[in-house]
């Protein structure tokens, strides 16, 4: 794990709303876009947190590119291992158009 490191990830928002709380969401993330041009995120499940104001523009199913800081690793009963990421910057790149 790269705790404390800033990295870029691509992802798809899997869970966002009442179950995660404001300013947080679960996503499938990867460090790259699939070579075919499709968005396929298989590297990890992640729990991301950031500014509620910025994240209010996103919904489940949106694709994003984000600069994040790795803050830890968690194990949950429902999802297994997830990496914790703090969002420094996030950009919408597709999904629910």
3-state helix, strand, coil in the chain (%, to 5): 5, 55, 40
Q: Is 85 exposed, middle or buried (0-12, 13-18, 19+ CB in 10 A)?
A: buried
Higher pLDDT, 7 or 77: 7
pLDDT (tens digit per residue) in 29-56 = 887 766 666 665 666 788 899 999 999 9
Contact in structure between 61 and 46 (CB atoms under 8 Å)? no
Which pTM does this prediction carry?
0.82
Contact call for residues 71 and 86 (beta carbons, < 8 A): yes
Domain boundaries, the chain: 6-94
Whether residue 91 has pLDDT greater than 90: yes
Which pLDDT value is given to residue 53?
A: 93
Residue 17's pLDDT is what?
83
Write out the CATH class of domain 6-94: mainly beta
CA distances from 18 to 31, 62, 66, 95 (A): 28, 17, 22, 21
Q: How far apart are CA 46 and CA 16, in angstroms?
A: 12
Interval 56-85: pLDDT, tens? 999 999 999 999 998 987 776 666 677 889
């Amino acid at each position: 794990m790269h705790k404390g490191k800033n990295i870029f990830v691509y992802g798809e928002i899997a869970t966002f709303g009442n179950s995660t709380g404001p300013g947080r969401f679960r996503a499938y993330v990867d460090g790259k876009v699939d070579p075919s041009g499709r968005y396929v995120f298989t590297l990890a499940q992640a729990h991301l947190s950031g500014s509620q104001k910025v994240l209010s523009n996103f919904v489940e199913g949106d694709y994003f590119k984000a600069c994040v800081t790795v803050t830890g690793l968690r194990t949950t009963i429902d999802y297994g291992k997830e990496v914790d990421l703090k969002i420094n910057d996030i950009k919408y790149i597709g999904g629910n158009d």
